[in-house]
Amino acid sequence: MRIVFMGTPDFAVRSLQALLQAGHRVTLAVTQPDKPKGRGNKVQFPPVKQAALAAGVPVMQPLTLKDPAVQDAIRAEQPDAIVVAAYGRILPQAVLDIPPLGCINVHGSLLPRYRGAAPVQRAVLNGETQSGITTMLMDKGMDTGAILLTAACPIPPDMTAGELFDKLADIGAQLLLRTLDERQAGRLPGTPQDDALATYAPMLTKQEAELNWALPAQQLHNQVRGLNPAPVARTVMAGLPVKIYRTAAGGPVKGRPGTVASTSPLTVVCGDGTGLELLEVQPDGGKRMPAAAFLCGHPLKAGQILAEKEF
């Protein structure tokens, strides 16, 4: 099958690689423009661009898909299907109309739940116990098209968003291959979504990273794992801004929210009277480390108020 692939992050790379390994002819990869990253603002290729170039697949990085010249370039590939996985933009109708088998999206949730830009992170943030992949026949809306196939995936209580991304990327790649086979055979027309059941997953913001110790420990634990690997939950410890990568919800403790209840393990009082154990942290300008290692250079005492700011 001739395919134009659209995607940007690591999540999409698994689907691209699966298509190539299955023998599909990916004639073009469309991805977001290169962007500067890190403290040195060094320009880095999106993961899909790196994977496509390594496989000898031509790459196009348009600023917009609304450009008629871009649409003509995609049309010239004569794709049987356009496959989209975390590309990052809604496709205009002119692009949706190009492939005879349609534009097929690999989405990281069980639609119609968690439509939008951050379905994986939002599911973890909200403490969901199940997620999954939906392959969808795209239309002009945001994740509103007909459902083709689904595959569910459990979310263990300590799984991070990054770990769930990896698991769903593998599931999505295999579900995509099944979808294309069924679609090509004419056995998969699609099932309309029930809009009444829809929920939304907007893009994460840096403001959501601040830990509010007045909240329950379990909610904060979900926040930490849902924001790992980015943008990463944060607080203030020993006067330093600190990123929090790993936690565990503990048992009952006494004290004002934000107070250090114990240093072994490092446990902070939360708003519901239970403690949040801080397991892995990263001080501003430093490396990720176990909380015990942080305490060696930045001692805290039980009863000390952890954060300098009120929420």
Instruction: Compute the average pLDDT of residues 129-149.
Output: 97
Task: For residues 56 and 65, give the distance between their C-alpha atoms in angstroms, rounded to a whole number.
Answer: 23
Same structural domain, 188 and 229? no
pLDDT per residue as tens digits for the range 205-237? 999 999 999 999 999 999 999 999 999 999 999
Same structural domain, 171 and 235? no
Decide if pLDDT at 194 tops 90: yes
Task: For residues 10 and 295, give the distance between their C-alpha atoms in angstroms, rounded to a whole number.
Answer: 34
Same structural domain, 93 and 132? yes
Give pLDDT, residue 307. Answer: 64
Give pLDDT, residue 310. Answer: 42
Contact 5, 17 (CB under 8 A): no
Task: For residues 261 and 277, give the distance between their C-alpha atoms in angstroms, rounded to a whole number.
Answer: 10
Same structural domain, 138 and 240? no
Decide if pLDDT at 311 tops 70: no
First to last CA, the chain: 54
Same structural domain, 168 and 24? yes
Strands 35-37 and 42-44: antiparallel
pLDDT band at 42 (very low <50, low <70, confident <90, very high): confident
Q: Which of 174, 90, 161 is nearest to 131 (CA)?
A: 161
Decide if pLDDT at 34 tops 90: yes
pLDDT band at 259 (very low <50, low <70, confident <90, very high): very high
Same structural domain, 219 and 107? no
Domain count, the chain: 2
Q: Return the half-sphere exposure (C-beta side, CA atoms, 13 A cut-off) of residue 214.
A: 3
Give pLDDT, residue 79. Answer: 98
Which residues span the domain enclosing 244?
206-297
Strand partners, 113: none
pLDDT per residue as tens digits for the range 260-269? 999 999 999 9
Using the 3D structure, point to which of 141, 165, 197 is the last residue of a domain.
197
Contact 274, 253 (CB under 8 A): yes
- Arithmetic mean of pLDDT over the chain: 95
Using the 3D structure, point to which of 153, 180, 197 is the last residue of a domain.
197
Using the 3D structure, point to which of 197, 220, 254 is the last residue of a domain.
197
Decide if pLDDT at 142 tops 80: yes
Task: For residues 160 and 78, give the distance between their C-alpha atoms in angstroms, rounded to a whole number.
Answer: 40
Give pLDDT, residue 161. Answer: 98
Same structural domain, 75 and 170? yes
Tell me whether residue 235 is in a domain: yes
Same structural domain, 190 and 247? no
Tell me whether residue 309 is in a domain: no
Instruction: Compute the average pLDDT of residues 123-150.
Output: 97
Instruction: Compute the average pLDDT of residues 64-85.
Output: 98
Decide if pLDDT at 97 tops 90: yes
Same structural domain, 167 and 228? no
